[in-house]
Each structure stands twice: as structure tokens, then as C-alpha cells.
Amino acid sequence: MTPVGTIPDLIDTIEHIADEHRTDRRCVTTISTGLDTLYVELSERAFDICTRCGQNLPPAGPVAWLDERTGAHQGDYDQQHGCGEWNSPESLLIKIDLDTLADMDEGDVDTTVRDRLTAAASKLDGAVAAATAAETARIRADLANDLRATLSQVADISADTSLTAEEKAEAFADLEDGAGEDPGVYRDGGQWQAWAWVPRRESCESIIVTECDL
């Protein structure tokens, strides 16, 4: 049995293992407290577009704000976007008692820490997937509302006997605001549709709602 020994060595080991979970999307934060406790937080955004203004959000940063001496939860880091909306990433905080690990064999420390972080990462994967799905559903519902409103205007214009065919065509064209890269409502082969980007930036896919979906 090879005891790992000192608390700084343990912190070093845990930080190395935690580092393996860091990606372009996933933020890993470690906070050691004066009470021989190390906290590891994993955070990741489920969506990269502000839910209010539609602008891109920065990658996830730390979420929980802990007292560095006691580990007490002081609140959350500011997640407010410039428009005022609070866009918090999904996050998970793991508390590791260093005194317990100090009595273990080096291999056991490695396995224990790896297992806990892998389980936490997998739990966060689930939370992120669920939140992405919820945000996608919200966007889809908004698109359906936009499309319904447009179809109602289309019906009004069609029924307006004071307009010439040319004026009606012009009025229909004015209803299209989803051209090119800009999400919105547009016509595809005479069918009205509404589209938006999926809320995760690495995907260039779009969400499309057609008249048949209403």
C-alpha cells in the first residue's frame, strides 16, 4: 500500500482527473477549502442562444459561488446577458473529502475520484440533453405561433376585395421575414413555413414548422 500522502498531492491528482472532463463546451472548476474539502463543478450550456434576444452566449463559466474557506454556498455567479435575461448553464457540484482519500491507496484514490467524476459527467449530460430538448420545444412553439399569426394575415389579405392581385402579391412578400440566414417566416413552393436555428451553436441544423405541423 502506497499512501498518497499530503493534501496538496491529492488536490493535484483530483485536478488532473477533473481536467479530462474539460472540453470546448464543458467548464470544470475546482475549489479547495480550508476544511480539507475539494469541490469540483462541471458546467455546460444546454443552448448557446439567449432566450430573450437571440444573440450568441459566451461558453459556460462557473455557476456556484462558494466561500473558499468553508465551502458554504454564497450564491451564483452572474449569468445575466446584456439584454437582462438570466441564462444559467446546467451545472453539478461534487464535494470530495480529502481526509478520507488521504487514508487510501493511490490506486483506490484514482478509481474513486474517476468513478465519481464520470458519474457526475454522465448525470450532467442527461441534464443538458433534457434542457436542450425543452428549449427546442419552446422555440418550436414560438415558431408555430408566428406561423399562425402570418397565416391569419394571409387570410385577411386574400379576402380583401379592395386589393389588386399585384397588391396582394406585394403584401404577401412583405410577410416574409425569414430570408437567408435570418430566422423567421417564409414561403417554400407556395407553402408558408417558419424556421429558426437549433439552440446549440455547433449544430448548423434548423427547426422548421410547416402549415401541416399546426
What are 14's three cell numbers? Answer: 483530483
Least distance in Å: CB of 55 to Zn ion?
Answer: 5
* 83 lies in the binding site for Zn ion (CB under 5 A): yes
Residue 69 contacts by C-beta under 8 Å, 6 or more apart in sequence?
33, 34, 35
By CB under 5 A, which span of 19-27, 35-43, 62-70, 75-83 interacts with Zn ion? Answer: 75-83
Q: Tell me how far CA of residue 6 lies from CA of 99, 116, 117, in angstroms.
A: 10, 21, 21
Out of 81, 116, 187, 201, which residue is the one contacting Zn ion (CB under 5 A)?
Answer: 81
Could you tell me where the DSSP H helices lie in the chain?
Answer: 7-19, 98-102, 106-159, 165-175
* 85 lies in the binding site for Zn ion (CB under 5 A): yes
Least distance in Å: CB of 43 to Zn ion?
Answer: 19
Q: Show contacts with Zn ion in window 163-182 (CB under 5 A).
A: none
Measured between alpha carbons, how far is 28 from 44 in angstroms, rounded to an integer? Answer: 9
Residue 210 CB neighbour total at 10 angstroms: 15
Least distance in Å: CB of 86 to Zn ion?
Answer: 10
Distance of CA 73 to the CA centre of its chain: 23
Measured between alpha carbons, how far is 214 from 202 in angstroms, rounded to an integer? Answer: 28
Q: Under rule CB under 5 A, how many of the chain's residues touch Zn ion?
A: 6
Tracing cell 500500500 back to the chain, one arrives at: 1
Least distance in Å: CB of 79 to Zn ion?
Answer: 11
By CB under 5 A, which span of 17-25, 46-54, 112-120, 180-188 interacts with Zn ion? Answer: 46-54
* 50 lies in the binding site for Zn ion (CB under 5 A): yes
By CB under 5 A, which span of 53-61, 109-117, 165-173, 183-191 interacts with Zn ion? Answer: 53-61
* 53 lies in the binding site for Zn ion (CB under 5 A): yes
Q: What are phi and psi of 179, to 5 degrees?
A: -95, 145
* 78 lies in the binding site for Zn ion (CB under 5 A): no
By CB under 5 A, which span of 44-52, 120-128, 162-170, 178-186 interacts with Zn ion? Answer: 44-52
Write the single-letter amino acid at 184. Answer: G
Least distance in Å: CB of 23 to Zn ion?
Answer: 24
Contact 174, 156 (CB under 8 A): no
By CB under 5 A, which span of 42-50, 115-123, 160-168, 178-186 interacts with Zn ion? Answer: 42-50
The binding site for Zn ion (CB under 5 A) comprises 50, 52-53, 81, 83, 85
